[in-house]
């Protein structure tokens, strides 16, 4: 069973055909209990000591922490988030394409652009979820079975305030030694986000029996519900629903 952790995620060709093959394993996967599948254990951590003020309107945050399927899936279940889009950040526009990013030579990281209401969930609270359940911030240039700089742990700060909050929170968590290993999350500024291909959007919701999702990502959503019950929303906000509206 452990070998399922290392199944390679599909490229565009596989995404068009291999999902049906992997779906054959759904019956076997159903025998497992989701809480026992966590490839990256959630960590209960305190909120940031420094945060933005709750205000009306919308803000955006761009976060990278391994495969964007799971990161997107987590934040789509956060109350106050109105949109969460998988994409690429850190490199050039011409290189913002899955197979090219997968070479690890583009400077891009698989990332998620989150649109949120600061009156309901602040930037600092998003970072708390990011560090706690969305990924493991102690893994340098990899997350679980995925290796390469495209899977790095990075906060793409949109402005000086976001950068200040992120820096302070990383220092706070590092001082508290809550993870057992040093936090390797970096902060990058001045980078452009490019949306990923349509077949990557809403992947967790659309493919709940896909082995990679079952093993690596569904436990993250379960951890969000357990650790952040006041922010958890059962019905995710989906990209496809946004496009249809």
Is residue 24 part of the annotated active site? The answer reads no
Q: Which long-range contacts (CB under 8 A, 24 or more apart) does 164-168 make?
A: 164/50, 165/48, 165/50, 165/51, 165/52, 165/123, 165/124, 165/127, 166/127, 168/48, 168/49, 168/50
Q: Which long-range contacts (CB under 8 A, 24 or more apart) does 188-192 make?
A: 188/89, 188/90, 188/154, 188/155, 188/156, 188/157, 189/156, 189/157, 189/163, 191/62, 191/89, 191/90, 191/156, 192/89, 192/93
- Which of 39, 67, 112, 214 is the catalytic position? 67
As annotated, the active-site residues are 67
């Amino acid at each position: 069973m452990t070998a399922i952790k290392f199944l390679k995620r599909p490229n565009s060709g596989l995404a068009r055909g291999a999902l049906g093959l992997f779906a054959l394993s759904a019956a076997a996967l159903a025998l497992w209990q989701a809480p026992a599948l966590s490839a990256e254990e959630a960590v209960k951590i305190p909120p940031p000591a420094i945060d933005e003020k709750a205000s009306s309107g919308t803000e955006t945050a761009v976060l990278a922490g391994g495969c964007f399927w799971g990161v997107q899936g987590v934040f789509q279940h956060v109350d106050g988030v109105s949109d969460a889009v998988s994409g690429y950040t850190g490199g050039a526009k011409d290189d913002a394409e899955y197979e090219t990013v997968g070479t690890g030579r583009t400077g891009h990281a698989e990332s998620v652009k989150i649109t949120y209401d600061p009156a309901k969930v602040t930037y600092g609270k998003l970072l708390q979820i990011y560090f706690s359940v969305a990924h493991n911030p102690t893994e340098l240039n990899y997350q679980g079975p995925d290796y390469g700089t495209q899977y790095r742990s990075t906060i793409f700060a949109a402005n000086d305030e976001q950068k200040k909050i992120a820096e302070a929170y990383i220092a706070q968590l590092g001082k508290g030694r809550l993870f057992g290993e040093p936090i390797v999350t970096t902060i990058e500024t001045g980078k452009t986000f490019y949306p990923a291909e349509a077949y990557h959007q809403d992947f967790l919701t659309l493919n709940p029996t896909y082995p990679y999702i079952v093993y690596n990502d569904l436990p993250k959503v379960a951890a969000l519900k357990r650790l952040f019950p006041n922010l958890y929303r059962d019905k995710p906000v989906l990209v496809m629903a946004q496009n249809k509206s």
